[in-house]
Structure 1
Amino acid sequence: MIQVAIVGAGAIAPKHVEAYQAFANRCRVAYVCDTALDKASSLAHRCKLSAQVVGDYHDLLMKSDIDLVSICTPPSTHAQIAVDFLTHGKHVLVEKPMASSLAECDAMLEAAHKSGKILSVVAQNRFRTPWMKLKALLDMKVAGAILHAQINSYWWRGRCYYDLSWRGTWESEGGGCTLNHAVHHIDALQWMMGMPSEVHALMSNVAHDNAEVEDISMAVLRFPSGGVGQITSSVVHHGQDQQLIFQCEHARLSVPWNLYASRSMLNGFPERDVEREETIQQLYDQLPELEHQEHVGQIDDVLRAIESGTPVLVDGYAGRRTLELIMAIYKSASTGQSVKLPLDVTDSFYNKESLLQVVPRFYKKTRSVERFTSNDITTV
């Protein structure tokens, strides 16, 4: 039986608890930790946990009855908590984004390497059947090479969203919608297509005058393959229509699933390639449905890795690549210049301290509350 500690009892923590409870024959949540003890107690009560409630995660480091720790705290705290638990021989699953700087990512990776323990970064959308099927078809190249990728990470958040104490500043949140909302779609892009070689971006804050950070960014990408891409990250889009669209040599493949294949007539104008569409659709339909999805799927993956020694699907290196692409977007948007990848350790966007000297602050944070009356969140 794998013994689990939940560190951080905020809005995302119930997703972790519920996922662990789906595998009650394999694991047990033994501890819930939050600096606000009443939040930890409330989480344990709501989820009907027979778990010990703790206020300081340091009190858990030496516990021999903890195998795995879910870190559900604000992004700026991820690195130190993860390093401490890894150093004390615990496996770690850390919420997105992995950390608030590449230097912190590297410290986490080093701790995982030295301890020999698993470090996995939450990317629950990889564990959705449509995303997994799209990844498989792209790997199979059934539509040919990718020519253009379009990532629409469209969300909407009200002004008061940034009233929460740790949100809305570069110091505590690490960034705005590019880091904290589009991270899933940016992760999907680098998972499905690989890392770009060049990024050019801009960002702004157009609707949230109580936050330093951006509420929209747009980036164009060049890939080593010759393909190009674009990413829009936003919390100002009504309807929250999110898409991953890959225009390949022979067909469009996307999530939500939308298949369209074209072929050239003698004059170069397109006609629909129904035969190719039928072939691709048959392959899509034959791919298996995932037994467990989203957080449940990822936690199943982590538990299996602990039990069998197999690699996790989303390790610390994957989390770092996603953050590196986000930092390239921030660097380009902050400087107005194209950015070449990879970023090295001398780059001003490698360390948080130097990043804070360069990024724009669109507005001053004007209100700070420790928690909202309602803890309801939506994740789609």
Structure 2
Amino acid sequence: MIKVAIVGTGGISHAHIKGLLTFPERCEIVALCDIKPEKAEKIKKQYGLDCPVFDDHEKMLASGIHIDLVHVATPPFSHAEISINAMNAGCNVLCEKPMASSLEQCDAMLEAEKRNGVVLGQIAQNRFTNPYWKLKKVIDSNKAGKICSVQINSNWWRGHSYYDLWWRGTWEKECGGPTLNHAVHHIDLLNWLEGGLPNQVTSILSNVMHDNSEVEDISKSIMAYDGGSLADVTASVVHHGEEQSIIVQCADAKLSAPWDPKAEVSMDNGFPMEEKNEKLLAELNQYMDSIPDLKYEGHTGEIDDVLTALENGKRPLITGVDGKRTLELITAIYKSGFTGMRVSLPIQKIDEYYRTGGIEKHAIHFYEKTVSAEELSEEDIKINSI
């Protein structure tokens, strides 16, 4: 039985708790922690949990309660400190996105994982959704040929009051806008599908709808990869309809989530024929249909994977290394957007943007935060998959 503590009982904690409660024979929630303990008490009552509540994670770690796994579900600026303290106490960690607020902090977390012989998992629950899970398998089958271009539409919509919450909309506390806090999922998927980071990034940032926020509310970026393939990423909280997608143009066919394959056939003059490559399309659809659905999706699917890894002494699908890789690409996007220059990867340790506070130091303040509400609605967070 894996003993679990949850640090941070805001909106995203519901996804963690519901996922954990799916496996009562495998794990048990033994502690809740929040700097506002009344929030944790409310969560405790809502889910009928039988565990103590703490107002400080260090008190929780020093309490003598046996904890195998700590879920870190706090605002981004505190992820590194809480994760490192938990690992130093001998606990495994599953950290919400983004992994940290700097690459320097990511490396400190990875060092703590190695030094303490524990496991650091990174939340990127969209990998555990059927459309993306199956898309990855079709791409890896090479039935459509090599990747030539990827289009990421991480399109969300948030009303003006979204940035009234005290920690949102600031470079210090939220550490970025939708590029970091929304597109992080799609950027993780991009790295997963491509198998690694690009070598260059060019980006433009703007804030067009939220004048109560320092950070961007939309960014557009182009990535270049070894071998010549390109990717473009839109990260937004100004898109009505929240129509999210990944479109992968391979040498022989278009693959996508939502699934909508296309395959052209060339005439002698190079223009596409009216008839499509029906044989390849049939093969792709048949292969897609043959891939079994995941038993669990989203946070529950990732929690199942982490529990399985801990039970078997293995690594989870999404590790701290993956979390750092995602933040490295996001850091490059911000550096390019702030400087107006093309940025090369990897980002070196001597680079100011690698260091903690580097992004904040150079960040464009599109507006100054005008409201700092202690709480907004405590309704469950809606988590889109595509």
Shorter-chain TM-score bucket reads over 0.9
Per-residue displacement from partner, 1:153-184 (whole Å, max 9, x unpaired)? 00000010000000001000000010000000
Query: Counterparts of 2:139 and 2:313 in 1: how far apart (Å)?
Result: 28
Which whole-Å CA distance do the structure 2 matches of 1:71 and 1:156 have between them?
25
* 35-44 or 367-376, which deviates more: 367-376
| In the alignment, structure 1 residue 289 sits paired with structure 2 residue 293 | yes
Does residue 309 of structure 2 align to residue 305 of structure 1? yes
Q: Would you say 1:140 and 2:141 are equivalent positions?
A: yes
What is the aligned partner in structure 2 of residue 59 from structure 1? 59
Output the amino acid matched with 1:167. R
Q: Which amino acid aligns with 2:235?
A: S
| Secondary structure of 1:368's aligned partner | coil
Q: CA deviation at 1:59?
A: 1.2
Distance 1:64 1:236 in 2: 44
RMSD, aligned α-carbons = 0.9
Mapped to 2, the partners of 1:373 and 1:208 lie a distance apart of 19
Secondary structure (helix, strand or coil) at the match of 1:356 reads helix
Distance (whole Å) between structure 2 residues aligned to residue 278 and residue 38 of structure 1: 56
Write the distance in 2 (CA, Å) between the matches of 1:293 and 1:356. 35
Higher mean Cα deviation, 266-275 or 22-31? 266-275
Shift of 1:269: 1.3
Query: How many pairs align?
Result: 380
Partners of 1:83 and 1:99 in 2: CA distance: 11
Alignment pair present for 1:213 and 2:215: yes
TM-score by length of 1: 0.99
* 2:116 aligned partner: 115
Match of 1:39 in 2: 39
Give yes or no for contact 2:11–2:378 (8 Å, CA) kept in 1.
Answer: no
**C-alpha distance in 2 between matches for 1:118 and 1:343:** 25
Q: Partner of 1:163 in structure 2?
A: 164
Given that residues 144 and 249 in structure 1 are in contact (C-alpha distance below 8 angstroms), is that contact kept between their aligned partners in structure 2?
yes
Distance (Å, rounded) in 2 between the aligned partners of 1:288 and 1:373:
38
Which residue is 1:83 aligned to? 84
Tell me the CA shift for residue 373 of structure 1: 3.5
SS of the equivalent of 1:45 reads helix
Q: Percent identity?
A: 47
Alpha-carbon distance, 1:50 to partner: 1.0
Give, in angstroms, the shift of residue 355 of structure 1. 2.3
Query: Residue 170 of structure 2 contacts residue 214 of structure 2 at CA under 8 Å; is this kept in 1?
Result: yes
Q: Which amino acid aligns with 2:223?
A: L
Corresponding residue for residue 184 of structure 1: 185
Q: Are 1:197 and 2:221 an aligned pair?
A: no
**Which residue of 2 is the match for residue 275 of structure 1?**
279
Q: Deviations over 1:116-175 (max 9, x none)?
A: 111001000000111111111111111001111000000000010000000001000000
Quote the Cα distance in structure 2 between the aligned partners of 1:354 and 1:51: 39
* Paired position in structure 1 for 2:268: 266
> How far is 1:376 from its partner?
3.6
Q: Does 1:256 align with 2:282?
A: no
Deviation at 1:52?
A: 1.1
Preserved contact between residue 155 and residue 238 of structure 1 (Cα < 8 Å): yes
Q: What runs of 5+ residues in structure 1 fail to find an aligned partner? A: none
**Maintained 8 Å contact 2:149/2:250:** yes
The 8 Å contact of residues 4 and 29 in structure 1, kept in 2 or not, is answered as yes
For structure 2, the residue ranges without an aligned partner over 5 or more in a row are none
Deviates more, 1:5-14 or 1:135-144: 135-144
In 2: Cα distance, 1:158 partner to 1:206 partner = 12
Q: Secondary structure at the match of 1:28?
A: strand
